[in-house]
Amino acid sequence: MDLYKLMGGKKDAVYFAITLVFFKLKRTFISFRYQEVTLERQHVMKRYFPGVVSPKSMPAQSTKKRLHLKVMEICQAKRLIGSVLNTVNRDLTESALYSPRQRQLLRELLRILSKHNVVVPKHTTLQSLVSQVWNQEQKRVLSLYLRHTTKEQRKTTLTLLDKTEEEAVIVTMKEDLRSFKTHDLWEEIKKHAHLKSIFNMAKDVLERLDLPQTTCQYYASLVHYYDRSRMKRIKPQKVGLYLLCYAFIRYPIVNDILIDAFKKRILETQNKATDYIDGQRLKHLEKIEEKHKQISAMMIMIDQSRASSISKKKMYQYVPEEEWQEAALSLVDEKFDKQRLFWKYIDHLEDSIKLGIRALFLALDFTIRQNDSLKTVVAYMKIHLEAKTWTTAPFPPEVIDWIEKKTLYI
């Protein structure tokens, strides 16, 4: 009954109790009629006003406002006005850089309101505040994009929207490598080269813009979401920023795909060379075994012959003259030169290596850590393969040392 006196009567007290419960749950004032909150009203009456008949009419509008202020006083809540609005707006502006989606920014606004114990305003107020901050952030980022890029750089970025005789460039960029066949690899290398020029520019520009990774990924995702015709209708500076972020995100993926292709081609070449060596080893053993049989038969013939001398012609019947040196060496040295045969087979694959492995090697960006020798070898080979001077340029000592230690895993 103290609540009756405090609120000014049963009607006000019941409304106040229900409003307080809703406010603690939602941090905002919810407009309701008693017919819509029957269960909640029954609970409040049973717990706080046992034996009292529930009121059927709502308090007057002016009374509701007075009761709302009382709820805010009890919960120590603040309205979104004056200095409170400035504080919330400042915090939301700082968060806008990390919340490029308006829906994401709205969630951030609700978090900020809760942090400062501010009453959540109407939906229109929330929408207006989010739209204002989001638009300001878009203008700021685009302004920085224009400031830190040249006209030529922006033109280069927009080449991703060009259309070739076959299809639009951006459509090709979105497609993943179909297979590791040579023709498909060439197409992926072309894509890699186009993205690389924009990626190198993007690294510098995006660092100046100080865009978080998540924001950059969001702008890049818009390129996947919009088709080419839609992007052509967007303002050039805005779509240019999206494409710049897209190249920044997409290029490392394409590079990784090509690294996988490079590793696969290397492994295939090694496996083919190993299979060739195994086959040659069997032939080598069969050949030695055959020579030993020929020499054995010849020696038995000599031992069983009663003649004082045996002609070379007769001995050549067992081991042909041109094979004598090889047969003699097989008696004392049965060494099988795997290294020589490996490189012999690699020379046999020269054209295939030029078309596939070499093209991939020159296109790829390698990141080599904690291996200075390998880094030196890769840099040396890239320089001289691109300049076509690798056949005449002398190997530095560190390159020779690395090659001698790494014999291609055979």
Asked whether residue 143 falls in the same domain as residue 155, the answer is: no
User: Does 294 reside within a domain?
Assistant: no
Asked whether residue 168 falls in the same domain as residue 219, the answer is: yes
User: Does 308 reside within a domain?
Assistant: no
User: Does 182 reside within a domain?
Assistant: yes
Residues 6+ apart with CB under 8 A from 193: 363
Q: Cα–Cα distance between 199 and 194 in angstroms, integer?
A: 9
Please identify every stretch of the chain with a pLDDT value under 70, giving residue numbers as ranges: 1-9, 165-166, 330-336, 390-393, 398-400, 402-410
Give the number of domains in the chain: 3
Q: What pLDDT, on a 0 to 100 scale, did the predictor assign at position 171? A: 84
User: Does 290 reside within a domain?
Assistant: no
Asked whether residue 196 falls in the same domain as residue 237, the answer is: yes
Of 227, 253, 279, the residue at which a domain comes to its end is 253
Q: Cα–Cα distance between 231 and 240 in angstroms, integer?
A: 9
Asked whether residue 163 falls in the same domain as residue 138, the answer is: no
Q: What pLDDT, on a 0 to 100 scale, did the predictor assign at position 102? A: 92
Of 93, 123, 147, the residue at which a domain comes to its end is 147
Asked whether residue 39 falls in the same domain as residue 107, the answer is: no
Q: What pLDDT, on a 0 to 100 scale, did the predictor assign at position 1? A: 44
Q: Which amino acid is at 247?
A: A
159 DSSP assignment: G
User: Does 36 reside within a domain?
Assistant: yes
Query: Measuring CA to CA, how many Å separate 321 from each of 144, 248, 288, 402?
Result: 85, 69, 16, 43
Q: What pLDDT, on a 0 to 100 scale, did the predictor assign at position 189? A: 87
Q: What pLDDT, on a 0 to 100 scale, did the predictor assign at position 404? A: 62
CA-nearest of 244, 242, 238, 232 to 197 is 244
User: Does 365 reside within a domain?
Assistant: no
Q: What pLDDT, on a 0 to 100 scale, did the predictor assign at position 118? A: 92
Q: What pLDDT, on a 0 to 100 scale, did the predictor assign at position 143? A: 94
Residues 6+ apart with CB under 8 A from 325: none
Q: What pLDDT, on a 0 to 100 scale, did the predictor assign at position 402? A: 66
Asked whether residue 155 falls in the same domain as residue 241, the answer is: yes
Asked whether residue 131 falls in the same domain as residue 161, the answer is: no
* DSSP per residue, 166-191: SSBHHHHHHSPP--SSHHHHHHHHHH
Of 108, 123, 147, the residue at which a domain comes to its end is 147
60 DSSP assignment: P
Give the range of the structural domain holding residue 101, as residue numbers without chain letter. 82-147
Q: Cα–Cα distance between 235 and 94 in angstroms, integer?
A: 25
Asked whether residue 166 falls in the same domain as residue 131, the answer is: no
Asked whether residue 155 falls in the same domain as residue 248, the answer is: yes
Sign of torsion over alpha carbons 318, 323, 328, 333: negative
Helix (H, G, I), strand (E, B) or coil at 291: helix
Question: Where do we find the tokens 């088709």?
Answer: 227
Asked whether residue 129 falls in the same domain as residue 217, the answer is: no
CA-nearest of 270, 310, 317, 319 to 291 is 319
User: Does 385 reside within a domain?
Assistant: no
User: Does 332 reside within a domain?
Assistant: no
The two structure tokens encoding residue 171: 């459509």
State pTM to two decimals: 0.73
